[in-house]
Structure 1
Amino acid sequence: MSGAGTETPVGCEAAQGGSGSVGKKRDSLGTAGSAHLIIKDLGEIHSRLLDHRPVTQGEIRYFVKEFEEKRGLRELRVLENLKNMIHETNDRTLPKCRELMQDSLEEALQRLQAANDSICRLQQREQERRKVYNDHLTASEKQRLLQWEDFMKEQPQRQAEVDEEHRRAMEKLKKQYAEMEKDLAKFSTF
């Protein structure tokens, strides 16, 4: 992969050709050894143009070297600190938090249970009140229906009484007006 591979065929051709004439170079191209050298040169050209692994590996080495030298393993220390913090959190903080949370949750659950019991009692009282009220309302409605029925039964009798009273009042008024007409008739003769 070095530049020596490309120089070798030229040196070989010169060694094979001897005097360096053009005719001998053409003859040397036709031999099996020269074909091998040409294939070798093509392989090196191909690897230099298309194979980027050596360049990539060199860049990677350079990047790692620069990263480690310039940062001075700062990230490693940060990661160590994070790991220590995580272990401390898992070993100390989480159990304390869990214990406090369980204590607080138990107390909150007890309060919620007491509140729930109170609400259930209030609901039962309200339902009992509504039942009493509905029973009273139903009884009052029945009583009013009975009163209405009695009232409606009494209406024809009352109507008859009122009609009779009205008829008597009309007769009384007729008598009064008749007497007044008689009295008027006495005065009109003058």
Structure 2
Amino acid sequence: MSGGGTATPGDGEAAPGGGGGVKKRDSVGIPGSPAHLIIKDLGEIHSRLLDHRPVIQGETRYFVKEFEEKRGLREMRVLENLKNVIRETNEDTLPKCLETMQDNLNQVLQRLQAVNHSVCRLQQMEQEQRKIHNEHIPASEKQRVTQWEDFMREQHKKQAGVDENHRTAIERLKEQYAEMEKDLAKFSTF
């Protein structure tokens, strides 16, 4: 036993110096005994369920084999290609794109300024026309009102003239019919 304590005969160990004491725990250490088999089974169960070192070691070996041996330097080549593409883009493509974009943007800006100037002129012309139109409308409206009033006076005069002609025509017809009746009455009395 550990701990440096002395064993007593009741602990299952033989008394020192004496012979013949029977160890109670000796049966555990005997190969083939039921306790020994149970301990052996418990060790196997422990190693299978709780000891993950063999599985982890196998996975580690597979990982190393997969990424270092089989693939070789493929990832390094891919990364190198990406680095070259990025460098080429930064040094060549990006400056060309910026230059083209600035040229085109300058042209677009000039066109937009020209269009803006034209639109401003059109708006100004339209405002002037509205102003003239708005000033002209009241004068023309007054003129139309005056013309309408003159037209209506003239129509009333014409109507009065037509009414007068009609009345005189009716009077003449009445007189004519009256004379015709007199003449008819003369002829009918005979």
TM-score interval (norm. to shorter): 0.5 to 0.7
Equivalent-residue separation in structure 2 for 1:136 and 1:126 (angstroms): 15
2:92 aligns with 92
Question: What amino acid maps onto 1:102 in structure 2?
Answer: Q
- What is the alpha-carbon distance in structure 2 between the residues aligned to residue 67 and residue 180 of structure 1? 140
Note if 1:128 corresponds to 2:128. Answer: yes
State the Cα RMSD in Å.
3.4
Change in CA separation of 1:131 and 1:57 when aligned onto 2, cut-off 3 Å: farther
Consecutive unaligned residues in structure 1, runs of 5 or more: 1-15, 17-22, 31-37
Unaligned runs of 5+ in 2: 1-12, 14-21, 29-37
- 1:152 Cα deviation from its structure 2 partner: 4.7
**Larger relative contact order (CA 8 Å, sep ≥ 6):** 1
**Displacement of 1:76:** 1.6
- Post-superposition shift, 1:28? 3.8
1:108-152: CA deviations, max 9, x gaps? 110111012112212322333344344434432222222334445
The residue identity in structure 2 corresponding to 1:50 is L
C-alpha distance in structure 2 between counterparts of 1:120 and 1:96, whole Å: 36
CA distance 1:93–1:144, change in 2 (3 Å): same
Aligned pairs, how many? 161
Match of 2:63 in 1: 63
More displaced stretch, 44-53 vs 119-128? 44-53
In 2, Cα distance between equivalents of 1:59 and 1:153: 116
CA offset at residue 106 of structure 1?
Answer: 0.6
Distance 1:83 1:179, change over 3 A: same
Spell out the pairing of 1:170-181 with structure 2 (5 A cutoff). 170-181=170-181
Between Structure 1 and Structure 2, which shows a larger proportion of helix residues?
1
CA distance in 1, matches of 2:134, 2:177: 59
Partner letter of residue 27 of structure 1? R
- Quote how far apart the aligned CAs of 1:173 are: 1.7
Aligned positions of 1:15-54 closer than 5 A: 24=23, 26-28=24-26, 46=46, 48-54=48-54
TM-score for the superposition, normalised by structure 1: 0.65
TM-score (structure 2 length as normaliser): 0.65
Structure-2 change in CA distance of 1:109 and 1:58 (3 Å): same
Task: Measure how far apart 1:56 and its partner are.
Answer: 2.5
Q: 1:54 to 1:187 in 2, by over 3 A?
A: farther
> What secondary structure sits across from 2:25 in the alignment?
helix
1:50-106: CA deviations, max 9, x gaps?
242542243133123123322222222012101111011012210111111011101
Partner of 1:81: 81
**What fraction of aligned residue pairs are identical, expressed as a percent?**
74
Q: 1:154: how far off? A: 5.9
The yes-or-no answer on 1:168 pairing with 2:168 is: yes
Where does residue 119 of structure 1 map in the other structure? Answer: 119
Quick one: distance in 1 between partners of 2:102 and 2:121? 28
